[in-house]
Structure 1
Amino acid sequence: TYNWYDAINGQATPYDDLGHGTHTVGTMVGSEPNGTNQIGVAPGAKWIAVKAFSSAGGTSEDLLKAGEWILAPKDAQGNPHPEKAPDVVNNSWGGASGINEWYRQMVQNWRAADIFPNFSAGNSGPNDGTISAPANYPESFAVGATDINNLLAGFSSRGPGPYGEWKPDISAPGVTIRSSVPGSKYQNMQGTSMAAPAVAGVVALMKQADASLTVDEMETILITSAIPLTDSTYPTSPNYGYGHGLVNAYSAVSAVVNGIGRVQGQVIREGQDTENPTYQHTAPIETFSNMTLPLTVQVQDNVNVRSVELQYRASETAEWQTVAATRTA
């Protein structure tokens, strides 16, 4: 109850007759009980699942039912329970490129419910403008695929998206990915379907570090903490192949736990706040390469402080990067 919904056959207990779903879940949370053979990014996270695909594919009706159930898992009597909704929903599926908004309201509703909408970018590369719907929606977080050398997979769908957004948003390993398949076995698979669940696992780690993070905050942290990737086709970053770069779990979670950089900004509350915030921050006396650098800042305002952004750069000539600060008190 609350953890499984079968839109295809109505079975009450989880099963997988295709193997694709078990492989993606393994990348998110897989690990053997004794901690060996850890295939998952977030092996301690809890997971729920919806079966919306058969060997013939998925229908719009079943996928809409699945998305609605994610918003509010139902009990045995069919009553919805939005308090049981997950923190992140991984979608290793998609359709054709271009504008097709049949699922957009569902993605918007997920965001409104603080559910991170994670999508595989699609496997229609190397042509430009091939990001699939729903991954190409402005509200979706699209993930491209890289290989063991951090090079873009030839099959990974490319931007630009049809709404003028940077797509894909980010990249993750998606070539020759070893994960679980039914029957207590393991298998290598490839595709952006394999890359997206790695990012979903990082989202779980971030939520473990700070359960109050919003979808917008997590998107910002994932993008600003990513490792920029370029090649001869995409010489600058961000780009329409790798997005903002390779997902970096350690940096993303560190940004949540510690916060890094310098502070600037204006707290705004319409019609009331006319006074700038004040802050106190003591810079570290000595720094060196690769050191862990926890930074704190005390921020005050006469009305309220809703968020604080931290800016940092690696050198005097590097571009400033921005991440959301974590409030500790």
Structure 2
Amino acid sequence: MVCTTTLQLKMLLLPVWASMLLGLLVGFVPVVGMELTEGAKSDFDHTPNTEPLPSSSGSNCSQLTLKLEFSSKVVEHEYIIAFTGYFSAKARGLYISSALRNSGDRALEWHIVPRQNPASDFPSDFELVHIRQALPSSLLTLEDHPYIKRVTPQRKVFRMLKYIPSPEPAAPCNATRQSWQSSRPFRRTSLSLGSGFWHATGRHSSRRLLRAIPRHVAQILQADVLWQMGHTGSGVKVAVFDTGLSEKHPHFKNVKERTNWTNEKTLDDGLGHGTFVAGVIASMRECQGFAPDSELHIFRVFTNNQVSYTSWFLDAFNYAILKKIDVLNLSIGGPDFMDHPFVDKVWELTANRVIMVSAIGNDGPLYGTLNNPADQMDVIGVGGIDFEDNIARFSSRGMTTWELPGGYGRVKPDIVTYGSGVRGSGLKEGCRSLSGTSVASPVVAGAVTLLVSTVLNRELVNPASMKQALIASARRLPGVNMFEQGHGKLDLIRAYQILNSYKPQAR
């Protein structure tokens, strides 16, 4: 009888294990070979969806789910020539001209593509060149030049945003306090690791109460504790790489600089995504951000048609290094991790102490669907959860696929936080609620900006120390595997305690 029961149990479990294995295998399939090459047919050859966020009306926040799709393709005849250092425009032109003369191809037609942006007046480490009918030997001759590091095709990036109304009604925007004061009596001893304070920062004890009393994500993560201590992001430079921001938006008081890296003659946001992201980080009223006193640097890197180019990002990244940006939010990503100039520049950014926070992607629940650059080791990759601490279905899952098939992938995301129904600034005014890892990313970027402002010795703050503080303080979600939650849920107050007692573990 026991043997019969055991046999029946095994027969029942066999389909379950088979379906789990099949699910894991299917999760890895879409990532391999997703890079589009020249001539390949793309789903984004048509004009991308450019529907802006609905305008504010009435006192209610609209509840929207953000569906983001990403693709890229090679731009015909255009090449990014990366140099071994930073050189003037004149020097770069001479090096290219010298290298192409040595190719021996007299019929070669080429010219340097002009780039008019805020970085044009400074030395650069790359040039964009248009070369017609370039032979492979000509490109190899370019790479043989002692000052030229790599020659790669220019890539055109497409991002499609779709805002899908949620069936659940949103809470009124004006149902929350608009004061920066703490909602609880503050005692400095309450931040001790051994105190009972920590029992209140894990999973929510009352789901109904949380739904009934609408609060902004900064308050839910207890940013008001740090505000009460006088920390509001002051002196921290945070960059938002997105769709821009209107000049006179009422939610922002410290927009230090707005720059345009596109071929459109505007700095304003025509879609609302960049405004929303900036609001989560630094809004000072209505839908409160984490760090309202931070220096906000707006980088418009996408057009209203949601198009960008590798060269636009490279110039903007160089400018961010020049401006000594502290925190950079990149709520974009895609599977195209073979875009070498982009990947190299991300490494250079973090080497220059820029803390980069990026969305892990909205390609869940399949595994192995992480987006670049969030899956890079020195970038803080952020996944999404809802307000009941469930992993969002849309949130991409690990492991990383860079190392496959020659090795094992790494654990990603690094951390998860609220990415469902998060409130942020509307296009011109008011608040909106969005869902997506591109929403969870600025939650972490805002928290990081606030955390940086709490550290007296800024020399201790860098991408490594911040990432260590975040993952060491993260709260593990029970019943969730490491490729879904990474190291766990963001715990702002515990991260503050760890960061302010931080000692480098390697020298």
Q: Normalising by structure 1, what TM-score?
A: 0.69
CA contact (8 A) 1:97 1:130 kept: no
- 2:474 maps to 1:226: yes
Residue of 10, 20, 33 corresponding to 2:273: 20
Amino acid at match of 1:66: A
CA contact (8 A) 1:120 1:144 kept: yes
Q: 1:214 to 1:29 in 2, by over 3 A?
A: same
- 2:288 maps to 1:49: no
CA contact (8 A) 2:260 2:300 kept: yes
Partners in 2 of 1:141 and 1:130 — Cα distance? Answer: 16
Paired residue secondary structure (2:483) = coil
Match of 2:346 in 1: 107
Partners in 1 of 2:280 and 2:272 — Cα distance? Answer: 13
CA contact (8 A) 1:5 1:69 kept: no
Partners in 1 of 2:381 and 2:367 — Cα distance? Answer: 15
Q: 1:114 to 1:98 in 2, by over 3 A?
A: closer
Shift of 1:57: 2.8
Which structure exhibits the higher relative contact order, with contacts defined as CA atoms closer than 8 Å and separated by 6 or more residues? 2
Question: Any unmatched runs of 5+ in structure 2?
Answer: 1-117, 119-255, 404-408
* Residues 111-155 of structure 1, C-alpha deviations (whole Å, 9 max, x = no match): 111000111001001100000112112222100011011111111
Match of 2:382 in 1: 143
Partners in 1 of 2:341 and 2:365 — Cα distance? Answer: 25
- 2:257 maps to 1:3: yes
Q: 1:130 to 1:101 in 2, by over 3 A?
A: farther
- 2:215 maps to 1:215: no
CA contact (8 A) 2:279 2:424 kept: yes
Shift of 1:44: 2.1
Paired residue secondary structure (1:128) = coil
Match of 2:499 in 1: 256
Shift of 1:11: 4.6
CA contact (8 A) 1:158 1:240 kept: yes
Partners in 2 of 1:143 and 1:156 — Cα distance? Answer: 9
CA contact (8 A) 2:378 2:463 kept: no
Match of 2:282 in 1: 29
CA contact (8 A) 1:176 1:189 kept: yes
Paired residue secondary structure (1:241) = helix
Partners in 2 of 1:97 and 1:227 — Cα distance? Answer: 31
Q: Which has the larger radius of gyration?
A: 2
Shift of 1:101: 3.9
Paired residue secondary structure (2:367) = coil
Q: Which moved more, 1:86-95 or 1:208-217?
A: 208-217
Match of 1:315 in 2: none
Partners in 1 of 2:336 and 2:493 — Cα distance? Answer: 32
CA contact (8 A) 2:287 2:424 kept: no
Aligned Cα root-mean-square deviation (Å): 2.1
CA contact (8 A) 2:261 2:316 kept: yes
Match of 2:358 in 1: 119
Q: Which moved more, 1:168-177 or 1:248-257?
A: 248-257
CA contact (8 A) 1:229 1:246 kept: yes
Match of 2:426 in 1: 181
Paired residue secondary structure (2:417) = strand
Match of 1:245 in 2: 488
Shift of 1:230: 3.5
* Residues 197-221 of structure 1, C-alpha deviations (whole Å, 9 max, x = no match): 1111121122112222122111100
Match of 2:171 in 1: none
CA contact (8 A) 1:99 1:133 kept: no
Match of 1:327 in 2: none
* Residues 148-196 of structure 1, C-alpha deviations (whole Å, 9 max, x = no match): 1111111101100124221110011111111102211211111100001
Partners in 2 of 1:206 and 1:11 — Cα distance? Answer: 35
Amino acid at match of 1:30: S
CA contact (8 A) 1:230 1:242 kept: no
Amino acid at match of 1:140: V
Equivalent residue runs for 1:73-92 within 5 Å: 84-92=323-331
Paired residue secondary structure (2:433) = strand
CA contact (8 A) 1:100 1:133 kept: no
Partners in 1 of 2:341 and 2:352 — Cα distance? Answer: 19
Q: Which has the higher strand share?
A: 2
Partners in 2 of 1:217 and 1:241 — Cα distance? Answer: 23
Q: 1:167 to 1:102 in 2, by over 3 A?
A: farther
Shift of 1:102: 4.2
* Residues 2-42 of structure 1, C-alpha deviations (whole Å, 9 max, x = no match): 72220114657x4111100010111111122xxxx352122
Match of 1:58 in 2: 308
Q: 1:158 to 1:112 in 2, by over 3 A?
A: same
Q: Normalising by structure 2, what TM-score?
A: 0.45
Partners in 1 of 2:374 and 2:257 — Cα distance? Answer: 24
Identity of aligned residues (%): 29
Residue of 201, 206, 209 corresponding to 2:451: 206
CA contact (8 A) 1:174 1:194 kept: yes
Q: 1:158 to 1:105 in 2, by over 3 A?
A: same
Match of 1:190 in 2: 435
Amino acid at match of 2:306: A
Partners in 1 of 2:340 and 2:377 — Cα distance? Answer: 11
